[in-house]
Amino acid sequence: MRQSSWGDIMIDRKDIMQRIKVDVFTATTAGANAWSSDISNHKTRYIVSLLLIGDGEASRTVTIKKVETDDSETDKFPSVPVPPADVVPIPPQGYDIMNPILKLEGGTNLKGYVDAGSGVKVVVIYWDDPET
């Protein structure tokens, strides 16, 4: 059994597999949050993968940002090209649930922007820490 540690948390692959969740939101030109409210203060969310789904109309450019506790935004995956008929994975080499690509603390969120069009679907694969 392989264990990973994030802060004071020790968790193994089996525990993470039981916690895996998938949500979908639409990145828009104005920007859209992944979740309707920020992550609870007592929670930490580990993002293991994002899938950007082309809109079927034209190539788009998507930027994924972290919304900080003060509502400022930090680029995490800027200017990712998304062809119209493709699904673009982040990370491109595939994901490992034991090695998240992004950590979201309580009071934060994820936000997606697209350069044009009616939006690009973003699939978020994640798990929440054992304390929640």
Tokens of 83: 């062809």
Confidence of residue 131 (pLDDT cuts 50, 70, 90): low
Instruction: Please give the residue range of the domain that contains residue 17.
Output: 3-128
Q: What residue type is assigned to position 46 of the chain?
A: Y
Residue 79 structure tokens: 């200017």
Q: What is the CATH number of the domain that holds 17?
A: 2.60.120.340
Name every residue whose Cβ is closer than 8 Å to that of residue 95 and which is 6 or more positions away in sequence: 48, 49, 89, 101, 125
Question: What are residue 31's phi and psi, to 5 degrees?
Answer: 95, 140
**What pLDDT shows up at residue 42?**
87
If one counts the domains in the chain, the total is 1
Q: Is the pLDDT of residue 70 over 80?
A: yes
- pTM here is 0.89
CA nearest to 111, candidates 48, 28, 49 = 28
Residue 132 has pLDDT above 70, yes or no: no
Q: What is the pLDDT of residue 2?
A: 40
